[in-house]
Structure 1
């Protein structure tokens, strides 16, 4: 998985540190890591591979779920915010058991509450949009509508930020406004998850590269899908300990194997199971 940090995230870090909130930034970073880890784990459980993650304030760069099935789109979308809200409840329980930790963990509670509730908004690129798309039949029109809603919402948060100058400056509204506008405007073109069950969807208009990859028998099935993409068509040569080719698999063969087996087992074990069935 490729992991990058967007400049907006560095801007958030510098702003918090400059105003004496370095510890707050640490708690925010921790809450974000829990949030995105929950997305990645749920995506993997539903048969998707995380290929790219770009960390931003209040989330990471993710697709709107155009290629997800309905259930996966909803579960993956909800997993991050629900994880944050659960952590907020755990923090409250920790205060009840150990009141002395309250001043050190108060911002962790705020970070989880703001991340969880903010990301449930049904606007692009927030997680709420993924949930909405799970119930939409025309996803192309839905994505455009959610992007417009994201831009409108960004101006609303900008208005709240400007208004906070008169009632107590609140940088959170400003960060949310920038994140929503940037996400709704620029992030719709990128895709974070690649379905392990959708290997036939190729973008031939941009050209498709032919690849050949040699793998050992103990390579997990899940690992093979890191070589599968819309702009490539990969052939896999399964080799033994002596380096000789045992079996050659196409992406369609891989798809059939993935449907019948757990993705964490080795490709060799899966092939043995198929041989026994035949």
Structure 2
């Protein structure tokens, strides 16, 4: 583990093992080139996050790629998340452009330059697949959160990603049975990694939703400053608080209208009151 400009760079133990194995098999140059491309891709995410005022905690190099860990203090809007997600593939396209210029100027080994181009295109296109935790999945999740309640967005995007990850595993195994060749281990490992990651994140949705609620304090000031209208939520006096909170949207501020069965408005409450009551209620249970 090392630090660069305050950002922690860590290497997964299996990453080190793969590097050592590549020395033995004679594929070290190809592998280090590929992981350098991945590292630059993740640096693109980190640089975009820093420029948008988000704190970058670390960059982790994993056996099947990398990930930039960014602190979510409630200031990462859907627009910012999309920009951060696109910054990674953008680095790959910039590298492709630079290598094409080198090829045009007859600088470097053409075979190695072609390998760099293919590696960048592969990583960029793979990361743009609409599956979490890939960049494409994050973009889709951010776009859906603009229209659907945040809790619903989390539930369905992770469910769909789990199904897609399982599909990658099934595809790898089916190719093995259909073709009679060796099991496509790289595809299988990627599918297993995506499946495990999505199942773990799906189980952690309640904690992520709680963090979302805790970071809603600045939402009122943000929308009051821009003069935006609050989004209404209709509720009834006996309705539990949690189902009401699950209707909150990421990019909206809400006013809760409490109505009786005759349609008469009994109270109009800002979302902070409901969130505060919810946390107080759960604290008293403890």
Same fold (TM over 0.5): yes
Give matches, 1:166-177, under 5 Å. Answer: 166=180, 170-177=184-191
Pick the aligned partner of 1:145 from 133, 150, 156. Answer: 156
Unaligned segments of structure 1, at least 5 residues: 202-278
Q: 1:80: which partner in 2?
A: 88
Separation of aligned partners in 1, 2:112 and 2:163:
36
Q: In 1, distance between residues paired with 2:190 and 2:160? A: 14
- Counterparts of 1:39-118 in structure 2 under 5 Å? 39-56=45-62, 57-60=64-67, 62=69, 67=74, 68-98=76-106, 101-118=109-126
- Residue in 1 aligned with 2:246? none
SS in 1 for 2:131: coil
| Aligned CA distance change for structure 1 residues 72 and 176 (closer, same or farther; 3 Å) | same
Q: Which has the larger radius of gyration?
A: 2
Moved more, 122-131 or 39-48: 122-131
Count of residue pairs brought into register by the alignment: 197
Distance 2:168 2:16 in 1: 20
Inter-partner Cα distance in structure 1 for 2:190 and 2:100: 25
Aligned to 2:30: 24
Following the alignment from structure 1 to structure 2, what is the Cα–Cα distance between the partners of residues 15 and 160? 27
CA distance in 1, matches of 2:135, 2:180: 31
- For normalisation by structure 1, the TM-score amounts to 0.59
Instruction: Give the SS at the match of 1:134.
Output: helix
CA–CA distance in 2 between the matches of 1:25 and 1:7?
Answer: 16
Residues 123-142 of structure 1 correspond to what in structure 2 (within 5 A)?
123-135=131-143, 136=145, 137-142=148-153
Counterpart of 2:199 in structure 1 is: 185
Q: Secondary structure at the match of 1:75?
A: helix
Cα root mean square deviation, aligned: 3.5
Residues 12-21 or 144-153, more deviating: 12-21
Q: Deviations over 1:55-103 (max 9, x none)?
A: 2223316479794212101100110012112312332332232275122
